Structure 1
Amino acid sequence: MVNCGLLTVKNEPVPLKSIEVDLQVQGHVATVSSTLQYANEENSPLEALFVFPIPAEAALCHFSAKIADQEIVGKLQEKDEAKEEYDDAIASGDQAFLLEESEESEDVFKLSVGSLPAGQSAAVTFIYVTDLSVQADHSLRFCLPAVLNPRYSPPGTDSGVVSEITSSASIPYSLSFTANVSSPNPIAKVESKCALKPLVFLNADHTMAKVCLCADHKFDRDVELYLYYENAHQPTAIVEAGVSTAKPGTLMGDPVVLLSLYPEFPEAVMSSVSSCGEFVFVMDRSGSMGYAMHNGRGAQLRIESARDTLLLLLKSLPMGCYFNIYGFGSNYESFFPMSVEYTQKTMEEALKRVKEIDANMGGTEILEPLKHIYNQQCIRNHPRQLFVFTDGEVGNTKEVLSLVKDNAESHRCFTFGIGEGASTALITGMARNGCGHAQFITGSDRMQPKVMQSLRYALQPAVDDISEVWTVPAGMSTNRLSQPLNVLFQGQRALIYAQLNGESQSSDSEGTVTVKYRLAGQEVSNTLSFSLKPAESTRLSIHRLAARSLIRSLEQEWQTERGNREALKARVVELSVESGVSSSHTAFIAVHKGSGEAVKGPMLQRRVPAPRGKFLKAAMPMALYCSRAPRKACQSSLFGGCFAMLKKKKKTSKAQSVESVDILPKIEDHLLQLISLQKASGCWDMDNALAQVFGRTEEEVVKQTPAQVEKGVWATVLALIWLHGFKMDDQVEWQFVAIKATEWILEQKVANLSECVLVGNALLGCQVTEEALGL
């Protein structure tokens, strides 16, 4: 193993001594403060670059550095001006810190540490605000990224992001993590995949609590918290007062409201599942997909989980739709030249191809397959639904996002980030620009439930003509700060930020917003009332998230604008400086005046050796490396090491894949085995493989067939009973399989269906009713 990061002459990582993280959660908004203590134990001045990830939707709003007893607070400036000041400072012998967003991806920041004298220690603190995503079980997820995966750059490009890799050796620094949680509703529980100390409630009604990581936690994976509130799945509104010293009419001078909407669609529309659509599954087959889903025992390889997921998706599609499957790496390939109709024949052909896919396609170049897909003519009356699976990161994220946005009118894009370190900018950005939904599969998460939740969204009818109507008291008006809603899903939270201008001229202290839209030809509206009274002690987090939303909107406009770019950039810089929220056009600069003596000779800089050993994408949070090492040399050594390792591993990986997949998944997984046996129409054949799932022989099962009942009907009724009797905890995975089966049975017009269910329950030892089966 070779350690990476900032190294001494003895090849030991020394600068980063500790990380202290303080998390403050108010409802579904989190404020994260991270302090990193490090030291230069060399005999020469040091310049280094420190790369760290934050969630793509977060607003970075504070940076400071403490050297000895003196604290220097960073100020936001236009980026080129900040860089010039940084260069001038280190040339003059001063200590300087420059914190900027990467030009390639909005979820990566770079901290330049300039001229840190020999023997000197320093602590840097940065603070960001983010909203917490809602999970399928209605919990709120917070993630502190520990892993920054390699940004794969297509040949011929010159990516400015060089992410750090480390070996699996023990992390040399300590991590302290404390979370204080408050909510309008009682806190039911807090869960994590990391070891936590017991939850401590700070008041009698359980609306305030504190939780900490256990002291022996190693920051070798993402720290995830899942917060469960009582009655959390309901619309809310928070009004935050402006800054008293700011000018009225400005973003920071006026109150800002944050609305959380949970649209409820008419039951008549939601009771039927769409049978049309073109479903295009785009699967990452780069080398890193050959790694395990997590570091625990018995973990599947990512590519194995992907194969099982594709099996489940293929079995869950409705008859009459169209589909295709793409694999991509350094190049791409598709199962069919163009999307084909979903039939028993095409499903079987696709399943044979699925069992052969492997993590053997090199890098992560997603742009070209997307271009190819978008160039395919859409199928009339079959809206295109794109499902993208990837564990990697790309150096051309912004180009990919722009392409998805340009084609948003012709499709919806659902994305899945596999494993820790998947780019939040890429995954959430593609889903946002493609009017879809993003999911992250980390740790011991199963991929299948999350994918099936997204399939449920994809099968919902698309919402059209979304508009908002605001009502506020006389003398007041609203100014929308977030991008217009372009997608709504049943029960999925939608966020709206708005600035409240003026003052009320009446005693009315409430406002309302009504969201109107068309759904399957019906006019639908949802209304939310909110109090204009500001909430207490929100720490300007709502203003900063609103500013972040507005800044991102202007930045996207700047990327596509051809004539007015300077004016847009000036507006972004103005908003960034006013709100204190970082942008792509600004940077934090902090200068500590030193001896005033110019640096003589080059400062000590470090080259990062290529990784070796088992874990290429192991955890290196916020890694340090030489800021001026030749970029291309660093990348070539990185991926040279990567592909050499992959070639070595490929023999065992491929042998495992051939052995474990035979159109069917592993025999031990009876649920997937049952699903794999289903026909495209929704029925099952009665054979020995199906009987094995039931724990019976084929002869036993056939012998119990009710009179005048076809074998296929009997097999399908038993399969439904087994699913409801033994696999209710996994219902989200088999819900569409069961819907198809139920519809097929009803089409057969079986005269003695009640007897079938009665005998089937007796055979399998269940007590499932016809009503529960949908029969």
Structure 2
Amino acid sequence: FPHICVTLSVREFVAGVAATLNYENEEKFPLETFFVFPMDEDSAVYSFEAMVDGKTIKAELKDKKKAHIIYESAISHRHQAFLLEEDKCSRDVFCCNVGNLQPGSKVALTLKYVQELPLEADGALRYVLPAVLNPRYRCSGSPEDSCLDLKTPIVPLDDLPYSFSMTATVSSQHGIETIQSNCPLSPIEYLGDKKTSAQISLADGHKFDRDVELLIYYREVHTPSVAVELGNPKNNPDGLMKDPSAMVCFYPNIPEVEPSAICGEFVFLMDCSGSMQCPISKQDKSQLRIEAAKETLILLLKSLPVNCYFNIYAFGSSFEAFFPNSVKYTQDTMEEALRRVKLMRADLGGTEILTPLQVVYREPSIPGHPLQLFVFTDGEVTDTFSIIKEVRNHRLRHR
């Protein structure tokens, strides 16, 4: 069976992954073969090598269209060719066209990529190796309409036709507290008294039937650190990696903020003027403006936070408040407000919003409950300048 060997190297908050995948053409005729494998969408592939019958081929970065032309030309002449590219349908999938693989030929693909590891709420670094590495096997019960199904065979996880091994090396100036996993691991081997480096591997007999997840805990994770790597001008004198590089790691210790008990005061102004009796639009006459506004207000009333305060004003040529002052949000006050909202009609004449606005602004503030004002109206108001001026004068009091 093919064998997959994964080597993981974690340095501070960055992981370097090298995956070597071994295959053999057991057919009696040449095959144009390809492999599909997933990775984190934020990963960056920096190296790809293929060894075919002892011959090593290293990938070069080329323009996408030009690379396809070169690949197709090589295949048409029955030459060995490889094409590695990001899948068009998914950013987290890379496809490798290995080209013509002769009968009995063996190929070993080595893919290397780096990724920044995310931090969990408890401060752990989290690395995940997908359970479907290469080829991309679909778990039972998953949808069959994926674009990847055009390329990948459907093989249940119980029948994975390959063996798998993984070794991980973790190093950090912070010191390593522990490493946990959802899969059986070999005992942690610390490579020094200060526990700044450790090595682990998956236990023998691991069945790759689920994602491999590692949680790495550092001792002094909030202490800033710097890692320096020497350049390699001999490899590529004009390349980016010819110069030394440095990585600064800084994970600030920000205290967790206690949830605020402030809920706010919610005041709703409902336009009940005659124009609210009109349909929402000329094209759709099935729902009136007042009914649409009432539906929204009912939804908001049912969603208010516990211990807040609220009140509702119905306005037109005159206005009326549901309660003399804003009341605390309880089951009883909510039910009373809902009952009165359902009885609202567009029968209060003109759209005079200025007076109820002034009344709301004159009400004393409730300590610890900032005012939030909601207005439901069709906007058919004449004295807009006075209204805008009134709101501007009190803009620091509410949202």
Task: Normalising by structure 2, report the TM-score.
Answer: 0.60
8 Å CA contact 1:102, 1:160 repeated in 2: no
Aligned to 2:210: 221
Query: What is the one-letter code of the residue matched to 2:52?
Result: I
Aligned to 2:44: 59
- C-alpha distance in 2 between matches for 1:37 and 1:211: 23
1:273 to 260, 285, 309: 260
C-alpha distance after superposition, 1:119-153 (max 9, x if no partner): 22211111111121111111111111123567887
- C-alpha distance in 2 between matches for 1:51 and 1:87: 19
Aligned to 2:178: 189
- C-alpha distance in 2 between matches for 1:151 and 1:236: 45
SS at match of 1:252: helix
**Alpha-carbon distance, 1:341 to partner:** 5.7
Alignment of 1:177 with 2:166, yes or no, is yes
Query: What is the one-letter code of the residue matched to 2:56?
Result: E
8 Å CA contact 1:24, 1:181 repeated in 2: yes
Query: What is the one-letter code of the residue matched to 1:70?
Result: K
- C-alpha distance in 2 between matches for 1:195 and 1:266: 34
1:123 to 108, 111, 116: 108
Distance 1:200 1:266, change over 3 A: closer
Query: What is the one-letter code of the residue matched to 1:139?
Result: A
8 Å CA contact 1:35, 1:123 repeated in 2: yes
**Alpha-carbon distance, 1:247 to partner:** 6.2
- C-alpha distance in 2 between matches for 1:123 and 1:337: 63
Distance 1:275 1:264, change over 3 A: farther
C-alpha distance after superposition, 1:147-206 (max 9, x if no partner): 35678879xxx8897565422433221101111111112211111101111111111111
Please tell me whether Structure 1 or Structure 2 has the larger radius of gyration of its CA atoms: 2
Query: What is the one-letter code of the residue matched to 1:129?
Result: V
**Alpha-carbon distance, 1:103 to partner:** 2.3
Distance 1:134 1:266, change over 3 A: closer
Structure with bigger RCO (C-alpha 8 Å, 6+ apart): 1
Aligned pairs for 1:653-668 within 5 A: none
Distance 1:212 1:263, change over 3 A: closer
**Alpha-carbon distance, 1:48 to partner:** 2.3
> What percent identity do the matched residue pairs reach?
37
Distance 1:197 1:46, change over 3 A: same
- C-alpha distance in 2 between matches for 1:339 and 1:126: 57
Distance 1:257 1:320, change over 3 A: farther
8 Å CA contact 2:158, 2:209 repeated in 1: no
**Alpha-carbon distance, 1:265 to partner:** 5.9
- C-alpha distance in 2 between matches for 1:102 and 1:682: 54
Alignment of 1:206 with 2:195, yes or no, is yes
Query: What is the one-letter code of the residue matched to 1:87?
Result: E
2:91 to 106, 116, 122: 106
Distance 1:161 1:234, change over 3 A: farther
Query: What is the one-letter code of the residue matched to 1:191?
Result: Q
- C-alpha distance in 2 between matches for 1:337 and 1:43: 70
**Alpha-carbon distance, 1:233 to partner:** 3.1
- C-alpha distance in 2 between matches for 1:339 and 1:244: 68
- C-alpha distance in 2 between matches for 1:119 and 1:96: 17
Aligned to 1:89: 74
Alignment of 1:71 with 2:56, yes or no, is yes
Q: How many residues align?
A: 277
Task: Normalising by structure 1, report the TM-score.
Answer: 0.32
8 Å CA contact 1:138, 1:233 repeated in 2: no
Distance 1:194 1:274, change over 3 A: same
Q: Where is the helix percentage greater, Structure 1 or Structure 2?
A: 1
Distance 1:253 1:69, change over 3 A: closer
C-alpha distance after superposition, 1:518-550 (max 9, x if no partner): xxxxxxxxxxxxxxxxxxxxxxxxxxxxxxxxx
Distance 1:263 1:189, change over 3 A: closer
SS at match of 1:89: helix
Aligned to 1:139: 124
Q: CA RMSD in A?
A: 3.7
Aligned to 1:584: none
8 Å CA contact 2:12, 2:249 repeated in 1: no
SS at match of 2:62: strand
Aligned to 2:289: none
Q: Where is the strand percentage greater, Structure 1 or Structure 2?
A: 2
Q: Unpaired segments of 5 or more residues in structure 1?
A: 1-15, 277-317, 322-335, 349-679, 684-745, 748-775
Query: What is the one-letter code of the residue matched to 1:23?
Result: L
- C-alpha distance in 1 between matches for 2:66 and 2:152: 25
8 Å CA contact 1:104, 1:161 repeated in 2: no
SS at match of 1:43: coil
Aligned to 1:494: none
Query: What is the one-letter code of the residue matched to 1:63?
Result: F
Distance 1:199 1:262, change over 3 A: closer
C-alpha distance after superposition, 1:381-406 (max 9, x if no partner): xxxxxxxxxxxxxxxxxxxxxxxxxx
Query: What is the one-letter code of the residue matched to 1:58?
Result: S
- C-alpha distance in 2 between matches for 1:153 and 1:207: 47
8 Å CA contact 2:8, 2:169 repeated in 1: yes
SS at match of 1:197: coil
Query: What is the one-letter code of the residue matched to 1:137?
Result: D
Query: What is the one-letter code of the residue matched to 2:10?
Result: V
8 Å CA contact 1:104, 1:160 repeated in 2: no
SS at match of 1:114: strand
- C-alpha distance in 2 between matches for 1:682 and 1:47: 70
Query: What is the one-letter code of the residue matched to 1:209?
Result: A
**Alpha-carbon distance, 1:319 to partner:** 9.1
1:45 to 5, 10, 30: 30
Aligned pairs for 1:562-711 within 5 A: none
8 Å CA contact 1:151, 1:163 repeated in 2: no
SS at match of 1:85: helix
Alignment of 1:238 with 2:227, yes or no, is yes
Query: What is the one-letter code of the residue matched to 2:260?
Result: V
Q: Unpaired segments of 5 or more residues in structure 2?
A: 268-293, 306-327, 332-367, 370-399
